[in-house]
């Protein structure tokens, strides 16, 4: 199959590599011509995957029209802030009816839409799916075992995409609950910032475990309010992705939190990273969704106050010392 992956960041490049090793004719679109040239000539992407050789058969282009016209399956791994604009640009050259798979974990800031909803708006008639789960790019490139989920309402389409992605130690499951899968993938980044702050402050493993557990309850509450299924958030797209993102030193969102916990400014952290930490943007949309559904979501709201500069990271953890009694564990807070 001819597959195009839009976005030559760490995850997009990893997915393109996996697909190429599955003997698909994969083409990756890089915004930077220099990155495309490096992938083609040197079979590396040192900015995002330093030290990991790429398959020699993987081709790259910086020509978006060429990338779109190549695709029998389109995989979109650009940041959520550029997601809609990129789809608008590929639309004229895209073959009709081909499936479009989102790799991007976040929410559109102004519309509050999930990425598959953006796909349906911009590319009506194209089956929309999300690939999500605990998928740290460098571990997959290193050949370590991992599991992921293809989420789309049409399980026949999901099964076909599952067959395309399945390879070696990458185990691919299907799921019909797109809402639950996408909300889990988006909100875990916010909780990872909170967990990173705990790490940076040195408040202890018990505290971090508490934040992860209550964070899971929080994102489950929102997913269910939006129409998702609670069981989904206990699986790979929920708990699995949350744990990996909160504990891994490879996690960009955890890194942002850890640096905030050490007292650094957000602008400096992001400038130094040179990569997108989706939780920084997603938290704004998450708070608006919490308001829409009348949900407390205290962790999300606290991280929003940190990101907007309303409170310091250290001040954020004072909330853990609240003296009023906690309620039932099934309740928020």
> Consecutive 10-residue runs of the chain (333 residues): their mean pLDDT?
96 97 95 97 96 97 98 97 97 97 95 98 98 95 95 94 89 97 97 95 91 95 98 97 95 95 94 88 96 95 95 82 64 67
Chain Cα centroid distance, residue 309: 24
Q: What order do you get walking across the sheet with 25-29 strand by strand?
A: 59-61, 25-29, 2-6, 73-76, 100-102, 128-132, 146-151, 170-175
The reply to whether 48 sits in an annotated binding site is yes
| 91 flagged as catalytic | no
Say which of 42, 91, 120, 188 is annotated catalytic: 188
The reply to whether 188 sits in an annotated binding site is yes
C-alpha to C-alpha distance for 281 and 273, rounded to whole angstroms? 15
Q: Sign of the C-alpha dihedral, residues 12, 226, 303, 198? A: negative
Domain boundaries, the chain: 2-176, 180-321
Q: Which residues in 232-244 are b (16+ Cβ under 10 Å) and which e?
A: bbebbbbbbbbbb
The reply to whether 7 sits in an annotated binding site is yes
The reply to whether 243 sits in an annotated binding site is no
Question: What local confidence, expressed as pLDDT, does residue 10 receive?
Answer: 95
Contact 107, 282 (CB under 8 A): yes
The reply to whether 11 sits in an annotated binding site is yes
* Three-state secondary structure call for residue 32: coil
Question: What local confidence, expressed as pLDDT, does residue 317 receive?
Answer: 83
Report the topology of domain 180-321: 1.10.1040
The reply to whether 9 sits in an annotated binding site is yes
C-alpha to C-alpha distance for 325 and 21, rounded to whole angstroms? 54
Q: Token pair for residue 77? A: 């791994």
Question: What local confidence, expressed as pLDDT, does residue 95 receive?
Answer: 96
CATH architecture designation of domain 2-176: 3-Layer(aba) Sandwich (3.40)
Question: What local confidence, expressed as pLDDT, does residue 323 receive?
Answer: 44
């Amino acid at each position: 199959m001819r597959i195009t992956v839009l976005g030559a960041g760490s995850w997009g490049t990893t997915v393109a590599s996996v697909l190429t090793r599955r003997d698909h004719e994969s083409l990756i679109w890089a915004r930077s011509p220099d990155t495309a040239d490096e992938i083609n000539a040197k079979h590396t992407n040192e900015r995002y995957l330093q030290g990991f050789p790429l398959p020699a058969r993987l081709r790259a282009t910086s020509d978006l029209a060429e990338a779109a016209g190549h695709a029998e399956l389109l995989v979109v791994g650009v940041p959520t802030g550029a997601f809609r604009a990129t789809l608008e640009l590929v639309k004229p050259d895209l073959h009709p009816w081909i499936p479009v798979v989102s790799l991007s974990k976040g929410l559109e800031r102004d519309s509050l839409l999930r990425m598959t909803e953006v796909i349906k708006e911009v590319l009506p008639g194209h089956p929309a799916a999300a690939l999500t789960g605990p998928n740290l790019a460098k571990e997959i490139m290193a050949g370590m075992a991992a599991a992921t989920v293809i989420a789309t309402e049409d399980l026949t389409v999901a099964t076909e995409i599952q067959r395309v992605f399945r390879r070696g130690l990458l185990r691919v499951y299907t799921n019909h609950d797109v809402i639950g899968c996408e909300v889990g993938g988006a909100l875990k980044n916010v909780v990872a910032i909170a967990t990173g702050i705990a790490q940076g402050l040195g408040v202890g493993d018990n505290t971090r475990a508490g934040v992860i557990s209550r964070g899971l309850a929080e994102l489950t509450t929102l997913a269910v309010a939006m129409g998702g299924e609670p069981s989904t958030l206990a699986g790979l797209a929920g708990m699995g992705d949350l744990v990996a993102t909160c504990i891994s030193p490879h996690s960009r969102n955890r890194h942002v939190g850890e640096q905030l916990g050490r007292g650094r400014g957000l602008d400096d952290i992001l400038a130094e990273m040179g990569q997108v930490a989706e939780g920084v943007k997603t938290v704004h949309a998450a708070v608006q969704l919490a308001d829409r559904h009348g949900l407390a979501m205290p962790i999300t709201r606290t991280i929003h106050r940190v990101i907007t500069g309303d409170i310091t990271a250290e001040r954020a953890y004072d909330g853990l010392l609240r003296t009023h009694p906690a309620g039932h564990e099934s309740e928020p807070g």
